[in-house]
């Protein structure tokens, strides 16, 4: 998903998918349903995490929160803020010494190291995030299903075939949504033989 699109979610009543799409569209769809029997679960499509419905006040995906204007900061003398967030970092003395000797100082060196690590590990991080996303959804909706433990082991054990085989007997909507969430969870098999010419 690119950053220009609205955040999306998927709603289930029991094991049946009843709505999906941007948060405001899902809220409208859910308002038209009878939810008195309970069993509603809503999941964020990026993280796989369960979200509260109705959305809490100030939820980042609600139209009112997204439309709130951010006041412009008064111009100040000095370096521009560039969206920098200050947080505590704990390092050993030798790490601080090395960082202090780098061009631009410790902050610039840390930013360079983080950007390099993001580029180097982007594919592996994508697999890990996809596994976590799928597991969050799976744990919330399918924790009591037959084969849950086996599916979890297959997901984290890089066994796409066993994962697909294990969830094949689950309710169709849960199965298809889980397969979609896990679409990037499995690394290509490095030992696979290349196709014959």
Q: Are strands 40-44 and 8-13 parallel, antiparallel or unpaired?
A: antiparallel
Nearest to 23 by CA among 49, 40, 45: 45
Q: Percent of the chain beyond pLDDT 90?
A: 46
What's the number of CA atoms in the CB half-sphere (13 Å) around residue 81? 9
- Lowest model confidence (mean pLDDT) among 43-57, 85-99, 140-154: 85-99
Give the pLDDT of residue 194.
35
The tens digit of pLDDT for each residue in 135-176 reads: 999 999 999 999 999 999 999 999 999 999 999 999 999 999
Residues 6+ apart with CB under 8 A from 159: 153
| pTM for this prediction | 0.68
Nearest to 50 by CA among 104, 90, 9, 101: 9
Give the pLDDT of residue 97.
86
Nearest to 5 by CA among 30, 19, 25: 25
Residue 9's alpha-carbon distances to 65, 110, 124, 125, 175, in angstroms, are: 16, 34, 24, 22, 16
Query: Are 68 and 57 spatial neighbours (Cβ–Cβ below 8 Å)?
Result: no
- Whether 184 has a pLDDT exceeding 70, the answer reads yes
| Top-confidence residue, 55 or 44 | 44
């Amino acid at each position: 998903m690119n950053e220009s699109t609205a955040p999306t979610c998927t709603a289930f009543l029991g094991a049946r998918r009843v709505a999906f799409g941007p948060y405001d569209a899902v809220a409208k769809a859910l308002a038209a349903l009878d939810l008195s029997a309970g069993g509603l679960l809503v999941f964020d499509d990026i993280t796989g995490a369960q979200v509260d419905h109705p959305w809490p006040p100030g939820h980042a995906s609600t139209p009112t929160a997204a439309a709130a204007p951010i006041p412009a900061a008064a111009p100040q003398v000095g370096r521009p803020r560039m969206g920098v967030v200050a947080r505590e970092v704990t390092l050993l003395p030798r790490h601080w010494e090395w960082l202090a000797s780098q061009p631009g100082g410790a902050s610039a060196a840390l930013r360079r190291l983080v950007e390099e690590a993001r580029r180097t590990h982007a594919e592996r991080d994508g697999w890990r995030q996809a596994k976590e996303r799928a597991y969050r959804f799976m744990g919330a909706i399918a924790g009591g299903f037959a084969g849950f433990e086996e599916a979890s082991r297959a997901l984290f054990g890089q066994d796409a075939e066993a994962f697909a085989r294990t969830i094949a007997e689950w309710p169709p909507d849960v199965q298809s949504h889980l397969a979609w969430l896990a679409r990037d969870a499995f690394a290509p098999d490095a030992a696979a033989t290349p196709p014959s010419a």
